[in-house]
């Protein structure tokens, strides 16, 4: 891999694409050149990188000549079509969609957990689902110490998970409610302002949604733990940016709060914020725009043997998407 790679961001004008550009700059990623790609309707739009204006180019089959690393965040259908083309052109793709996550030839990576899986890539590496990534930042260190068997979890997912239009929708609906106007809906099937929707992604015949099953399926692959089980209810909440997850985890080995706190305090990319006496616990509002995830509300689970309950929050546009992708690119350079 080129020491100063030519990097492309595909889906550059979307909520995650913009964060990818900011993250490359903030982390001083040693790129030689940056190309911004998006659909025809965004062509010519200018985005800033290190004080320079870079014009967005149209994504085509010929976009990847000479590009070393492509960070994709343009949705599953675009990834399915263009990621293999990019890989064939000799580019390494880090894909943020769900298109390749469960493909056995594609590593699914959270660098703090399974960075060495990057080496097995055949041109494409997948970024996990945002809720899964944020949950595993706290669950995996506990798993290494106590061996997780299963979890029960509920997610509190920000509208940014649906994209820039959903962020606008929440803002618009809040204003409509405050002004006493009728609420208009475009993105979600129900009003999201002052409401919660127990519906993220599409429903499966089992009654779970696809999003809910990602925690088990992707968790097994990332943690190299094929018998891991997860029963999850994913909920969209009127929060702009960061996801939170309430988790009850059952382990093979006995776990105490003290031992868990010790393990979590040493985990990379994670801060322990757990001082309920002083009303300190992870909050999506305060974890927004931060690289690290936060974990708190640690307590012995009173309904399970060897159980621990905890609450974890993280910026879904960063650790849940853009930051994780850039970290994977950093592993590629090592």
Q: Which domains does the chain have, with CATH numbers?
A: 6-128+321-333 (3.40.50.720), 132-316 (3.30.360.10)
User: DSSP states of 197-216 as a string?
Assistant: BS--SPBPTTS-BHHHHHHH
Tens digits of residue pLDDT in 159-216: 999 999 999 999 999 999 999 999 999 999 999 999 999 999 999 999 999 999 999 9
Chain centroid offset of residue 217 CA? 15
Confidence class for position 122, pLDDT limits 50, 70, 90: very high
In this prediction, residue 1 has a pLDDT band, given cuts at 50, 70 and 90, of confident
> CB-side exposure of 235: number of CA atoms within 13 Å?
15
What band does 282 get if pLDDT is binned at 50, 70 and 90?
very high
Q: How far apart are CA 279 and CA 34, in angstroms?
A: 44
For residue 185, the model assigns a pLDDT of 98
- Max CA pair span of the chain: 58
What pLDDT, in 10s, does the model give residues 24-68? Answer: 999 999 999 999 999 999 999 999 999 999 999 999 999 999 999
Cβ within 8 Å of residue 120, ≥6 positions away? 107
Using CB atoms within 10 Å of the CB of residue 197, give its burial: 0 to 12 exposed, 13 to 18 middle, 19+ buried: middle
Please check whether residue 127 is in contact with residue 321, taking contact to mean a CB–CB distance below 8 angstroms: yes
Contact yes or no for 130/19 (Cβ under 8 A): no
- As a whole number of Å, the CA-based R_g of the chain is 20
pLDDT the model gives residue 84: 98
pLDDT exceeds 90 at position 117? yes
Mean pLDDT of the chain: 97
Where in the sequence numbering do the catalytic residues fall? Answer: 130, 243
Q: Is the pLDDT of residue 2 over 90?
A: no
d(CA 101, CA 53): 33
Going by pLDDT thresholds of 50, 70 and 90, the confidence category of residue 269 is very high
Burial status of residue 330 (CB atoms within 10 A of its CB: 0-12, 13-18, 19 or more): middle
Mean pLDDT of 298-325: 98
| Alpha carbon distance 262, 240 (integer Å) | 32
With beta carbons less than 8 A apart as the criterion, state whether 177 and 216 touch. Answer: no
pLDDT of residue 105 exceeding 90, the answer is yes
Percentage with pLDDT > 70 across the chain: 100
In the 8-state DSSP scheme, what is residue 182?
P
Residues of the chain with pLDDT > 90: what percent?
A: 99
Q: Whole-model pTM above 0.85?
A: yes
- Contacts from 61-68 at CB under 8 Å and sequence distance 24+? 61/85, 63/8, 63/10, 63/35, 63/37, 64/8, 64/89, 64/90, 64/91, 65/89, 66/6, 67/6, 67/7, 67/8, 67/35, 67/91, 68/1, 68/2, 68/5, 68/6, 68/7, 68/92
């Amino acid at each position: 891999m080129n020491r100063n790679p030519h990097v492309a961001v595909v889906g550059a004008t979307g909520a995650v694409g913009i964060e990818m550009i900011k993250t490359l700059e903030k982390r001083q990623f040693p790129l030689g050149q940056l190309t911004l790609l998006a659909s025809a309707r965004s062509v010519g739009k200018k985005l800033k990188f290190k004080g320079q204006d870079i014009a967005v180019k149209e994504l085509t089959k010929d976009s990847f000549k000479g590009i070393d690393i492509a960070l994709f965040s343009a949705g599953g259908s675009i990834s399915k079509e263009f990621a293999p083309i990019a890989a064939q052109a000799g580019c390494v793709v880090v894909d943020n969609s769900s298109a390749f996550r469960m493909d056995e030839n594609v590593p699914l990576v959270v660098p703090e957990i399974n960075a060495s899986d990057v080496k097995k890539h055949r041109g494409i590496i997948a970024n996990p689902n945002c809720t899964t990534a944020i949950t595993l930042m706290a669950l995996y260190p506990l798993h290494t110490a106590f061996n997780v068997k299963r979890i029960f979890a509920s997610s509190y997912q920000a509208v940014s998970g649906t994209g820039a239009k959903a962020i606008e929708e929440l803002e618009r609906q809040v204003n409509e409610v405050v002004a006493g106007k009728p609420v208009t809906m475009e993105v979600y099937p129900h009003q999201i302002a002052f409401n919660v929707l127990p519906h993220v992604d599409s429903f499966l015949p089992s009654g779970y949604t696809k999003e809910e099953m990602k925690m088990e399926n992707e968790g097994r692959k990332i943690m190299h733990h094929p018998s891991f089980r997860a029963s999850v209810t994913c909920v969209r909440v009127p929060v702009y940016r960061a996801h939170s997850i309430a988790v009850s985890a059952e382990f093979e080995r006995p776990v105490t709060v003290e031992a868990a706190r010790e393990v979590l305090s040493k985990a990379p990319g994670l801060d322990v914020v757990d001082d309920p006496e002083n009303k300190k616990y992870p909050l999506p509002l305060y974890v927004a725009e931060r690289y690290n995830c936060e974990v708190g509300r640690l307590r012995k689970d009173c309904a399970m043997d060897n159980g621990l309950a905890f609450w974890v929050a993280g910026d879904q546009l960063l650790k849940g998407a853009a930051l994780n992708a850039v970290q994977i690119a950093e592993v590629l350079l090592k």
